[in-house]
Each structure stands twice: as C-alpha cells, then as structure tokens.
Amino acid sequence: MWQDPIIKETRELRNQYAAHFNHDLDAIFEDIKKRQAISKRKQVSFSHRKAIVIKSARDIKPYTQMDSITAHQKIQNRWYS
C-alpha cells in the first residue's frame, strides 16, 4: 500500500517528540504551554459556544430531507445572487 512520505515523516516526528517525554501527556502539554508562552506569535482565542439545554426529547426538531435541501438552496442563493 502506498504511503505518503510527508505523512510518514510527520508521524515519525510526532512519535520522537512523544518519546522525549516518555509518552506522558501531562508532560507534553506542559511543554506545549511553555513553548506557547515564550513564542512571539499572535495567539487566537475563540469564545465558548452557548450550551443548548434540552429538557425533553420533544425539544429536538427531527431532521428531514427538506432541512438539507433548504440549507443547500440558501447556500446556492448566496453564491449565485
């Protein structure tokens, strides 16, 4: 089976990085946070989405084929207007 050399190299580097920390996720996370703190790059933070509270199954609108058609038509109207 053919393997993408870029994917292969990326996975090898990821494995080497994890092996450096004995595959300890907490240590990897701390290293990433440390690197982020000293980095000069701009950091982006996204606001959290508002949680949707569902009290009962009746609150859930059933998905129908018409929902996807309507969404598709809205997209087409926006693109081709």
Amino acid 7: pLDDT:
94
Closest CA to 20 of 38, 4, 32, 2: 32
Residue 10 CB: number of other CB atoms within 10 A?
Answer: 11
How far is residue 46's CA from residue 62's CA, in Å, rounded to a whole number?
A: 30
57 is written with which tokens? Answer: 């199954």
- The CA-based angle 51-64-66, given to 5 degrees, is 110
The segments of the chain whose pLDDT lies below 70 read 59-81
55-76 pLDDT per residue, tens: 777 766 665 555 555 666 666 6
